[in-house]
Structure 1
Amino acid sequence: MDGFPFSWVSMKKLAKTKFTMRPRARARGLVLAAVVAMAAASGVGAQGIELADVEAAAARGDTTAQRMLGEARIYGLAGVPQDVAAGRGLLERSAASGDGLAKTSLGKILLDGYYLPAEPDRAVSLLEEAAAAGVVRAQTTLGSALFWGGPIAADPARGRALLDQAARAGDVEALRILGEQLVGGWVLDPEPKVGFAMLEQAIAQGDPKASVALGALLLSGSGLPADPDRARMLFEAAAKSGNGEGLERYGDWLMWSRRNPAGAETYLRQAGELGRGSAWSRLAEGAMYGYLPPRSRAKFEGYAEKARSAGDERIAVLEAERRMWGISMRASGPGAIAVLEQAVEAGNATALKYLIGLVRDGNGMNVRKRPERARAYLSRFSDLLTPTEAAQLAMTIDAATANSPAAQAAVAEDLARHPEFRSPWFGRELFKANPNLAVRLLQTDMKRRGLYSGPLDGLATRPTLRALLQDCMTLQDGARCRDGVMDPVVIGALLAR
């Protein structure tokens, strides 16, 4: 068994997973595969394993039990009360005893920074040890992180070496990640034939995410000749396995390009019915902006209700934007803020991030720029965010008021002390909070790498734009560069590196 399933599902999805097991069943909820794996070591037959048995085995020093119970405590799953500190302690003990899977699990948790504050150096150390011991999950986790950097320094060559090891062991995630990069050529020299073969191998092994990845490349024509029909077939194949991401992507493409509004609606609805709550929000957004004729705007409420029922947090942001810009109603900045505040009071973290950004920056029309009000929201509702997210937003608020070179230098120094903050989302927020600071940071980085030789003034001069375009073409979504390198998505992606 290569690892406990809890570790390899998106942590944020795990945090929101609801279980409806009976009280007696909850005590048995540590997943049958994990139970069977440790039954022999614990001395208890698999049929009789209870939570108390797992705890007893962990107390006796069984490293497998410590790892399983530690993960369950960190995530608060399967009827195990959440206790992050206790869970970390269990993982630490298991890792210290040499359990490679515990090192991998703890390393990923400390790399992601969701349940515990990020500790990039410790994370890399743990993952390196596990990878060297042949733990495939560690090779894939560390290899993919090294491709793009962010919390850790990017090292694409080392990342490829690790992913090659995992791919040779047949790991479908490694095959998918490496195959996608070799086709796209974003951080590695392109080898489209090799990458295509890897993606096909992952698909043959039953990985629907690989079908979505290859379909996305064929839809955009990134590294391969564009083939929307083959992309659609791959997306439909993934949907048969319950993965609606590709259908959502295809419907989105049809909708915003206006190629086929009716077809877009059909595919997005299918994705929504497969559990993609974001597809309902996409439909609501398209309806709001007139992309779903006939009577496009009249469809908003129906799709918004489906998005709310699916628990997609972004719908609250769309409802606020609708009120703020006066779409099918009178425009009202205070009304938009009220919508967001209500959503935040109900525990909507996406609405909180948007609300903080909105009042931090203003919108130039009916919402004033009030950084201190943004700071008050952050202080009051920080429990909705991870520690890293809260610290990132606090830094963007500092950036919003950093108008002098000295103040901007102070923010830049603070950021340099926290490489784990780097992410595309944080880069976008930093750019929105202070465009000059964001451009200055990029100028500094491009000068270090020999792409730019002008002054570090934070201005989008012609030499700066040329250098940004050159840098932009190395991004995974390089197609956006043609739309303008000052797009917040582009700047955010560049800052994330």
Structure 2
Amino acid sequence: MINSLMKNWRDLGERTILGTVKTLLSAALFAAASVTFAVPNAHAAPRDIEQAEKLIWGSDGQLDPENGKLILEKAAAEGDWVAKRVLGLHLIFGWVLNQDVAAGMKMLDEAADAGDAAAQTALASIYLWGLAGETNLEAARKNLEGASKLGDPEAMRILGEQLVLGEKFEQDLDVGLSYLKQGISLNDPKSAVTLGELYLFGRGVPRDRSKAREAVETAATLGDGHGLVKYGEDTMWREINATAAEKMLLRAADMGATEAYAILAEGAMYGYLGGGSVSRRKYAGYAEKATEAEDGRVPLLEAERSMWGIGKRASGPAALAGLTLAADKGNELAAMYLIALQRDGNRYNVRRSISDAQDSLEKYGHLLSDKQKAQYAMTIDASKARTPAAYAPVAEAFEERTELRSVWFGREIFKANPNVAFYILQKRLKAQGLYAGALNGYATRQTLRAVFKSCMAELDRSLCNDNVMRREVIGGLLALD
């Protein structure tokens, strides 16, 4: 199976903190806000909050962030918890207003304490993922449980997923599944999509494509085609049924899940939609549809075609030029791909150039979040290291910056320099009593045995039995607290 480019960039939340939290604000938070407006302690009229948001974001041609802030501050001073939540999130993340994390967290705490379910869910997400600094799993769970009791399906989905996975909280499969099913009973399509993904990929539960199909179809009946994308993509890459996969992905796209077009384009490019020239002839059409949907992944696919000579002459410089052009136009994904490609090279027609990677990080840093910039800077530092003595300071910085950790970041460290990744794991495993060898960053037999033990204890065991040298395994282990 092709190591899908789409799979490598699947989790937007890992790539873009801004995207994650803005989605939270625009979807779950305001959906819950429509309920809390009716309760006694929410003093501001809905139109006041909506008007403040329009002024802050500049929608409807009105851009006056300071006046929008004043409206929210006035309502918050009168005890309106919806205003506190919305203003609190703006202050925490500084999207438009000046950032003030302490003041924002205080407001969000007050809204949560007042019984605003959306504020509790937002606060839980911040604590769970360390979006505003350190994680606080106890506070995260408390707020998720509180919001779930108040009937917030988003809280049920997050809590249910984490209890099934056993990553952030101790695994409790029955309770986790019950939360997800409760969310589905409240007609929450995201809960159904999450349940489908868990069964589809065997995450926390045994792999069961039948149950996965049932869940994503439930989500589809509720108007969400994103689960169909996951199921159709898996069907395509596993070569189960190319025709069925293509139909499902097109159905998802028709429902608004337009990310399906880029997946279809990649499948067509690699011959997964009917084989050979039949499949590749479909590439241009799907790539065009993905571009029309403003999917930023198309330049990445074009770079892959240029590098490996898929339907065109192979040219590393052409790949770099295309990515640079896309990044110059503001494509964040192209900038990220370019930085990583320059950092690592491709061992074929793109040479490794640390200086070029550093220049690109500086040039396109405005497209990335502060977290992303710090992550890429550290991977570049890892790439420079060539001896155990040089691995040590990178490992120390990695362990200190816990807020940077994610599976994606772990994979990037491993890609940039496998020796640094293994040095970090050796040091951890030695402290845990699982490894007694030298700290040298080498994947020795003794090191791999210790990594296997850690994988079996901490990650999905199906990953461990295949090959612990896989990026998913090393990235997953590096992401652990």
Q: Using structure 1 for the length normalisation, give the TM-score.
A: 0.78
Structure 2 residue aligned with 1:381, among 345, 364, 371? 364
Q: Which residue pairs with 1:235 in the alignment?
A: 216
The separation in 2 between residues aligned to 1:457 and 1:313, in whole angstroms, is 39
Residue 271 of structure 1 pairs with residue 252 of structure 2: yes
Q: Which residue pairs with 1:203 in the alignment?
A: 184
After superposition, the Cα gap between the structure-2 partners of 1:101 and 1:148, relative to the gap in structure 1 and judged at 3 Å, is same
Q: Aligned ranges for residues 2-41 of structure 1 at < 5 Å? A: 10-11=20-21
Q: Is the 8 A contact 1:116 1:387 kept in 2?
A: no
After superposition, the Cα gap between the structure-2 partners of 1:34 and 1:134, relative to the gap in structure 1 and judged at 3 Å, is closer
Q: Is the 8 A contact 2:198 2:204 kept in 1?
A: yes
Q: Which residue pairs with 1:438 in the alignment?
A: 421
1:172 CA displacement: 0.7
Q: Is the 8 A contact 1:106 1:123 kept in 2?
A: yes
Structure 2 residue aligned with 1:303, among 275, 281, 286? 286
1:358 CA displacement: 0.4
Tell me the amino acid that sits aligned with residue 193 of structure 2.
V
After superposition, the Cα gap between the structure-2 partners of 1:165 and 1:354, relative to the gap in structure 1 and judged at 3 Å, is same
Q: Aligned ranges for residues 206-225 of structure 1 at < 5 Å? A: 206-225=187-206
Q: Which residue pairs with 1:326 in the alignment?
A: 309
The separation in 1 between residues aligned to 2:425 and 2:348, in whole angstroms, is 29
Larger CA deviation: 388-397 vs 410-419:
410-419
Q: Which residue pairs with 1:25 in the alignment?
A: none
After superposition, the Cα gap between the structure-2 partners of 1:209 and 1:130, relative to the gap in structure 1 and judged at 3 Å, is same
Q: Which residue pairs with 1:421 in the alignment?
A: 404
The separation in 2 between residues aligned to 1:437 and 1:411, in whole angstroms, is 7
The separation in 1 between residues aligned to 2:225 and 2:249, in whole angstroms, is 9
Residue 289 of structure 1 pairs with residue 270 of structure 2: yes
What's the CA shift string for 1:100-129, capped at 9, x where partnerless?
545544665676687789988777666555
> How many residue pairs end up in the alignment?
456
After superposition, the Cα gap between the structure-2 partners of 1:226 and 1:386, relative to the gap in structure 1 and judged at 3 Å, is closer
Q: Is the 8 A contact 1:275 1:310 kept in 2?
A: no
Q: Aligned ranges for residues 109-120 of structure 1 at < 5 Å? A: none
The separation in 1 between residues aligned to 2:107 and 2:437, in whole angstroms, is 41
The separation in 1 between residues aligned to 2:95 and 2:464, in whole angstroms, is 31
Tell me the amino acid that sits aligned with residue 400 of structure 1.
S
Q: Using structure 2 for the length normalisation, give the TM-score.
A: 0.80
Q: Which residue pairs with 2:376 in the alignment?
A: 393
Q: Which residue pairs with 1:361 in the alignment?
A: 344
Residue 262 of structure 1 pairs with residue 262 of structure 2: no
Q: Aligned ranges for residues 156-175 of structure 1 at < 5 Å? A: 156-175=137-156
After superposition, the Cα gap between the structure-2 partners of 1:303 and 1:280, relative to the gap in structure 1 and judged at 3 Å, is same
1:264 CA displacement: 0.7
Aligned-residue sequence identity (percent) comes to 45
What's the CA shift string for 1:34-87, capped at 9, x where partnerless?
99999x967xx98xx7xxxx5xxxxxxxxx69xx73x5555444544275x887
What's the CA shift string for 1:176-206, capped at 9, x where partnerless?
1222233333344433222222211111101
Tell me the amino acid that sits aligned with residue 328 of structure 2.
E
1:304 CA displacement: 1.0
What's the CA shift string for 1:338-373, capped at 9, x where partnerless?
111221122211011000110111111111111111
After superposition, the Cα gap between the structure-2 partners of 1:148 and 1:391, relative to the gap in structure 1 and judged at 3 Å, is closer
Tell me the amino acid that sits aligned with residue 308 of structure 2.
W
Q: Which residue pairs with 2:472 in the alignment?
A: 489
